[in-house]
Amino acid sequence: MSSKHYDIVIAGGGMIGTSLALALEPLGLSVAVVEAIPRRAAAQPSFDDRSTALSRSTQRMFEAMGLWPRIVAASTPIRTVHVSDQGRFGFSHIEAEEQGVEALGYVVINRVLGAVLQDALDDLEGVDIICPARIVDVELAPDKAAAEVEFADGKQQTLTCDLLVASDGANSAVREMMGITAQKSHYGQCAVIGNLLPEKDINNVAYERFTEQGPLAILPVADGRAGFVWTVSEDDADRVMALDDDAFLAELQEQFGYRLGTFSKVGKRASYPLILSKALRLTATRSVLIGNSAHGLHPVSAQGFNLGMRDVAAIVDCIADSVTGTDIDIGHRSLLEQYSRWRRADQKKLVRFTDGLVKLFGSESQPLRALRNIGMLGFDLVPGVRSAFAKHTMGLAGRLPRLSRGVPIK
């Protein structure tokens, strides 16, 4: 069986793994990205039809990586977040202008973001893209990590590396191979996603409506269309997915109301079971977890990718320090501990906060309703809300990684 050595092997070339490979580029390391599903295939699970709201820290990262002009050209700015409660009058508004920013965030279809990221990856010289191929075994030793890669024809290859990074998603097999357990709890809900055509111009407004079943987000996307993320109870999901287009639109309209006129032309729908997953550790010998392999959040919180991008920023910062400043190698325990300490607080508190918010959707308590008025989108997208919350409630102090501050890594 053939073997090849890299500085870093990234397991999983989805949204987060691909972003990591791109972020590492200035460091001149040898990197392999191993991805199970053929690139740009319709079946690629990370770059699918979901729409993702990119927060300002993610925007800053892509700016520092030189990718923002291409991403912003494919995105739709959110200039207003509109939060409402079904069955109640009144709503709250958060305006970009009031916050002194151009946009509160940007919505991009994952497939479109995927094309931009994969094109950029194709231009890199130091990165081998090993795809379609699956990591089937991992051996972690103090001097190197080894990943067994299996190709579609059954052939295998061993990749050895100084550092193995698992970014193979919430059901991460590599995490298990690293000997790390994840705690999982089911919300008993599914997110039904897709896009539709509203009668009225959505006008760069992101709507978040709290319904009895959970939150419903309607996001501005390209060509006057709107993406939706509709939380339904697990027991009802199959029925909702099986509805014909007219019946589906009628039910969605009933939940949302007529602020955007009549909905029509719904696109392909998909349903995601909502599961909270938390890895009990972030590192093992010469290996780390990033993105959904470390934490899977309630997706309607619009924070999973943004949180994963902060993992990317932190691990790249740790690696950059070790490459340029000291003589320790990039899989050294001290580097992994630094990453773990750095990320633990943000991940843990965001998981707790998101989970808490999900659970209080049905709550009538006044302070909780006030918090609900900020909305989950507002929490992540509005400058100040997140940082104030972080400062006063979550205690997220300390140095932000360079990329999260918009500072190029080199």
Ligand X SMILES: Cc1cc2nc3c(=O)[nH]c(=O)nc-3n(C[C@H](O)[C@H](O)[C@H](O)COP(=O)(O)OP(=O)(O)OC[C@H]3O[C@@H](n4cnc5c(N)ncnc54)[C@H](O)[C@@H]3O)c2cc1C
Binding site for ligand X (CB under 6 A): 11-17, 34-37, 45-46, 50, 52-53, 134-135, 167-169, 173-174, 191, 193, 229, 272, 291-292, 299, 302-306, 308
Cα–Cα dist 101/114, whole Å: 26
Query: Which CA distances in Å does 325 have to 30, 319, 343?
Result: 18, 10, 21
Check if the beta carbon of residue 255 is closer than 8 Å to that of residue 133. Answer: no
Nearer CB in complex with ligand X: 299/375:
299
φ, ψ of residue 37 in degrees (nearest 5)? -100, 135
CB of 168 to ligand X, least distance (A): 4
CB of 357 to ligand X, least distance (A): 14
Cα–Cα dist 392/396, whole Å: 8
Nearer CB in complex with ligand X: 217/323:
217
Nearer CB in complex with ligand X: 211/306:
306
Please identify which residue in the block is written with the tokens 């099986």.
Answer: 242
For helices 304-324 and 56-64, angle between their N-to-C axes, nearest 10 degrees: 40
CB of 162 to ligand X, least distance (A): 19
Cα–Cα dist 373/174, whole Å: 39
Nearer CB in complex with ligand X: 34/96:
34
Cα–Cα dist 47/83, whole Å: 28
Nearer CB in complex with ligand X: 64/117:
117
**Hey, which bits of 152-237 come out as E strands?**
156-166, 182-198, 205-211, 214-220, 226-233
CB of 217 to ligand X, least distance (A): 8
CB of 334 to ligand X, least distance (A): 25
CB of 171 to ligand X, least distance (A): 7
Strand, helix or coil for residue 410: coil
Nearer CB in complex with ligand X: 319/377:
377
CB of 302 to ligand X, least distance (A): 4
Q: Please, what is the Cα angle at 16 between 353 and 325, to 5 degrees?
A: 95
Nearer CB in complex with ligand X: 349/369:
349
Check if the beta carbon of residue 287 is closer than 8 Å to that of residue 163. Answer: yes
Question: What is the sign of the dihedral through the CA atoms of 17, 23, 24 and 28?
Answer: positive
